[in-house]
Amino acid sequence: MSSSLVLHSYWRSSCSFRVRIALHLKGLSFETRPVHLVKDGGRQFDAEFTALNPMQQVPALSVVPAGGAAPTTITQSVAIMEYLEDAHPAVPLLPASHEHRAWVRQLVETVASGTQPIQNLAVIRKHAALCPEVDGAGPAWATHWITLGLDALETMANAPPPGVSAPKPGEFLAGAQPSIADCCLVPQLFNARRFEVDLQRYPTLLAVEKVCLEHPAFVAALPENQIDAEA
Amino acid sequence: MSSSLVLHSYWRSSCSFRVRIALHLKGLSFETRPVHLVKDGGRQFDAEFTALNPMQQVPALSVVPAGGAAPTTITQSVAIMEYLEDAHPAVPLLPASHEHRAWVRQLVETVASGTQPIQNLAVIRKHAALCPEVDGAGPAWATHWITLGLDALETMANAPPPGVSAPKPGEFLAGAQPSIADCCLVPQLFNARRFEVDLQRYPTLLAVEKVCLEHPAFVAALPENQIDAEA
């Protein structure tokens, strides 16, 4: 018997959204265990969840061996997606060549370390608490950093390295097959809309998003399709 | 003939520092091309560098093929380290098992996406410009986020998943061999000292750092040993 997968997730968390897409793209079944990031001050701060992830963030993926051995819990969305790629390579989410893989990971990190961490809920709250009165606090803080990140991502997508093509009509960010770069792009655009970023600046990213949202794995991973979704 | 490597770097940039360690651990020779992040408002904003990296950040690694073909430039320190692992596997910086690799990448991302992006120079400057008068602006902003990240990292290091041991005396973060997690840890501790974080809270991380700093690859990568180091 193989191990089973439990995803600790919140419907609106863009980092949880990334991992849900990757799981669905690979055709892996998993149980969703919701962690409400707002209710009661945030259930990610509960002792039980903190023991799973000392960073007190979702997602966390528990790999539960058959037969009752202790589970392994992996945190950090990029680490989880790389684990899925290592452990379940049948549907690859990284290309074959070293240079092409580097390109995909560059796009991933431009979102996952270059953009999202600065606009996450904890950082927005801290910034707004320190300077509640100024222009540029709260949502404007998020809008600023998302715009910088997506500006760079749109430019990169149209200027790939030698041997890699910019996305053609109907293609994903890194070509004909979806990759972990698409798993990061779509949730970042979801965040961008929440903060009313002007997306007309990003025709290439929007074209790729459209292709993604026609794919059932992306649809299954959408926030509104989760068991903990709210109106 | 093999390709040559050019690292666009700044001596005090912790993300450049990560990649320098990885290059030295793998025994790869490379040319350092300094990008001064402060002088003239920051040379990372020059058109020439922006063409290499639209995010206007160091590091960037240019892989220059022998024979005059166009170079490939990779940005984002984690993407660069993963590329080096793919292209130059002789000295591995990731363990062999899927679960152990996931563990290393979780530690990497706890620094690379969970901590450093929120305390980087551009974010500190933006925050301080918006709220110059409040407690918690400037260095205090960085201290707050570095402390949260290192608190979690110290806890994680002492509570590894089944089958993985916490670092024993004389070991690196993920065991007897250095990994990309050490490449991230040492520069993050360097940043922590700049911002006067209380490091006595982190006995395990400090013990690993001591082991790292006895290794010639880490020494060669130290900020003060770079060609662009300043007094």
C-alpha A206/C-alpha A199 separation (Å) is 8
Return the pLDDT at B2.
79
Q: Could you tell me if residue B57 is inside a domain?
A: yes
The CATH number of the domain where A134 resides is what?
1.20.1050.10
C-alpha A20/C-alpha B127 separation (Å) is 32
- The percentage of chain B sitting over the pLDDT mark of 90, rounded to a whole number, equals 88
In this prediction, residue B125 has a pLDDT band, given cuts at 50, 70 and 90, of: confident
Return the pLDDT at B137.
66
Whether the predicted pLDDT of B117 surpasses 70 = yes
B28, B45, B62, B98: best to mutate for the A interface, most A CBs within 10 A = B98
Q: Could you tell me if residue B47 is inside a domain?
A: yes
Q: Which residues does B105 contact at the CB level (< 8 Å), separation at least 6?
A: A76, A78, A79, A82, A83, B94, B180
C-alpha B33/C-alpha B18 separation (Å) is 16
The beta-carbon neighbor of B83 closest among A70, A79, A98 is A98
In this prediction, residue B140 has a pLDDT band, given cuts at 50, 70 and 90, of: confident
ipTM score: 0.96
The beta-carbon neighbor of B83 closest among A102, A156, A162 is A102
The mean pLDDT value for B112-138 works out to 85
Residues B111 and B148 in one domain: yes
The mean pLDDT value for A96-111 works out to 97
Of B56, B75, B91, the domain-final residue: B91
Q: Extract the tokens encoding B85.
A: 């692992």
- Average pLDDT of chain B? 95
Whether the predicted pLDDT of B168 surpasses 70 = yes
**A49-53, B1-5, B194-198: range with lowest mean pLDDT:** B1-5
Q: Which range marks the domain in which residue B169 is found?
A: 98-220
Whether the predicted pLDDT of B134 surpasses 80 = no
Q: Could you tell me if residue B38 is inside a domain?
A: yes
- Average pLDDT of chain A? 95
The mean pLDDT value for A115-119 works out to 96
C-alpha A145/C-alpha B211 separation (Å) is 37
Residues B102 and B209 in one domain: yes
A31-34 and B31-34 as β-strands: parallel, antiparallel, unpaired?
A: unpaired
pTM for this entry = 0.97
Contact A113 B118 (CB under 8 A): no
Residues B115 and B199 in one domain: yes
Residue of B nearest to A112 (CA): B113
Q: Which residues does A72 contact at the CB level (< 8 Å), separation at least 6?
A: A62, A63, B99, B102, B161, B162, B163
Of B67, B91, B115, the domain-final residue: B91
The mean pLDDT value for A178-193 works out to 98
Residues B23 and B104 in one domain: no
Whether the predicted pLDDT of A31 surpasses 80 = yes
Q: Could you tell me if residue B131 is inside a domain?
A: yes
Residue B178, number of CB atoms within 10 A of its CB: 25
Half-sphere exposure of B158 (CA within 13 A, CB side): 13
Residues A82 and A151 in one domain: no
In this prediction, residue B136 has a pLDDT band, given cuts at 50, 70 and 90, of: low
Q: Could you tell me if residue B35 is inside a domain?
A: yes
In this prediction, residue B6 has a pLDDT band, given cuts at 50, 70 and 90, of: very high
Q: Extract the tokens encoding A96.
A: 């074959």
Which has the higher per-residue pLDDT, A77 or B126? A77
Residues A119 and A166 in one domain: yes
Residues B122 and B14 in one domain: no
Return the pLDDT at B1.
53
A127, A153, A156, A165: best to mutate for the B interface, most B CBs within 10 A = A127
B165 touches chain A (CB under 8 A): no
The mean pLDDT value for B200-215 works out to 98
Return the pLDDT at A136.
66
Return the pLDDT at B189.
98
Return the pLDDT at B132.
74
Q: Which residues does B28 contact at the CB level (< 8 Å), separation at least 6?
A: B5, B84, B88
Residues B166 and B61 in one domain: no
Q: Could you tell me if residue B231 is inside a domain?
A: no
| Contact assessment for residue A170 and residue A144, using Cβ atoms and an 8 Å cutoff | no
Residues B183 and B83 in one domain: no
Return the pLDDT at A137.
66
Residues B216 and B102 in one domain: yes
Q: What is the pLDDT of residues B27-78, one digit of tens each?
A: 999 999 999 999 998 999 999 999 999 999 999 999 999 988 999 999 999 9
Count of structural domains, chain B = 2
Contact B63 A109 (CB under 8 A): no
Q: What is the pLDDT of residues A137-183, one digit of tens each?
A: 678 889 999 999 999 999 999 999 999 999 999 999 999 999 999 99
Of A64, A91, A118, the domain-final residue: A91
The CATH number of the domain where A80 resides is what?
3.40.30.10
Whether the predicted pLDDT of A199 surpasses 90 = yes
In this prediction, residue A125 has a pLDDT band, given cuts at 50, 70 and 90, of: confident
Q: What is the pLDDT of residues B85-101, one digit of tens each?
A: 999 999 999 999 999 99
Residues A75 and A157 in one domain: no
Residue of B nearest to A76 (CA): B106
| Contact assessment for residue B116 and residue B142, using Cβ atoms and an 8 Å cutoff | no
The mean pLDDT value for A109-132 works out to 91
Q: Could you tell me if residue B225 is inside a domain?
A: no
A99 touches chain B (CB under 8 A): yes
B106, B145, B154, B188: best to mutate for the A interface, most A CBs within 10 A = B106
Which has the higher per-residue pLDDT, B40 or B9? B9
B166 touches chain A (CB under 8 A): no
Residues B213 and B104 in one domain: yes
- The percentage of chain A sitting over the pLDDT mark of 70, rounded to a whole number, equals 97
Q: Could you tell me if residue A46 is inside a domain?
A: yes
The Cα of B214 is separated from the nearest Cα of chain A by a number of Å equal to: 28
Return the pLDDT at A131.
79
